[in-house]
Amino acid sequence: MNLDDLQSFYGQGAEAIASDPRQPEAHEALLKALELGSLRAAEPDGKGGWRVNTWVKQAILSGFRNSAMEDLSVPGFAFFDKSAYPARSFTLEDGVRIVPGGSTLRRGAYIAKGVVIMPPAYVNVGAYVDEGTLVDSHALVGSCAQVGKRVHVSAAAQIGGVLEPAGARPVIIEDDVFVGGLVGLFEGIHVRARAVLASGVIITGSTVIYDLINGKEWRKEVPEGAVVVQGSRPASGDFAKVNGLQVSAPMIVKYRDARTDAATTLEDALR
């Protein structure tokens, strides 16, 4: 099936898909298109923004609905999961460096040449990880998350996934972003190119990001080149005031410069 055929197939509704004998063929075509990067859950709209391909996420969900549990165990490790989304296999010619130690990359994830996966890491279905990106130990790239070129996803960073609702924007990280250790990005946050997120920064869809340089607030977006650290602000209410309570508040303390570039550049020797 080509992409137009796939979109037409998955647009016919859940009941029709379940009874359509072409379902296994369509599912395999969907996985291959996602793995080749010719089909994405979200993509640039050419105007500086991004658009969600809702039907792609609906198609991925269809795979879960229309498959059964399967024994995927290997000697010494018991695994049981839906048969539609086993672990993805690679060859040396794929040009992906997967360091031994227990990482799993699920079928339906795009992993470009030059990507480095340090163990243990997990990349879920529908995710898109572009060239030259490093996914470090204990990091997660969640379902349908979009990660650009030369991104550093540091140890224990969590790039949240989203399949439902199908129209919801996944987390988007553009090119040359540095994601520090233990960073958490959730609920469709859009991190613009060259931003730097210091260790421990947590950003959700409702998080206010305080721009100390420009004196403004950002929501659902980290601007290009911003350097964000985890700060705090006073909690509201009399009880909080009496007890000196604070709430976490990500803050932009500068915008990227040559000194920042030197501190965050990926080492070529590691590749």
Q: How much is the pTM?
A: 0.94
Instruction: Tokens for 96, please give them.
Output: 């992906």
pLDDT score of 261: 79
Instruction: Tokens for 170, please give them.
Output: 């996944």
Residue 45 lies in a domain: yes
Residue 269 lies in a domain: no
What is the rounded CA–CA span in Å between residue 187 and residue 195?
A: 18
Whichever domain contains 11, its CATH number is: 2.160.10.10
Residue 265 lies in a domain: no
pLDDT score of 266: 62
pLDDT tens for 23-61 read: 999 999 999 999 999 999 999 999 999 999 999 999 999
Instruction: Tokens for 240, please give them.
Output: 């909080």
Q: Which domain holds residue 121?
A: 3-259
Residue 267 lies in a domain: no
CB crowding 202-218: b at 16 or more within 10 Å, else e: ebeeebebbbeeeeeeb
- Low-confidence stretches of the chain (pLDDT beneath 70): 266-271
Residue 174 lies in a domain: yes
The residue to which tokens 């931003």 are assigned: 195
The residue to which tokens 């080749």 are assigned: 36
Q: What's the domain count of the chain? A: 1
Distance set, CA 67 to CA 53, 60, 140, 150 (Å): 22, 11, 24, 35
Instruction: Tokens for 177, please give them.
Output: 């972003």
Residue 266 lies in a domain: no
Residue 179 lies in a domain: yes
Residue 163 lies in a domain: yes
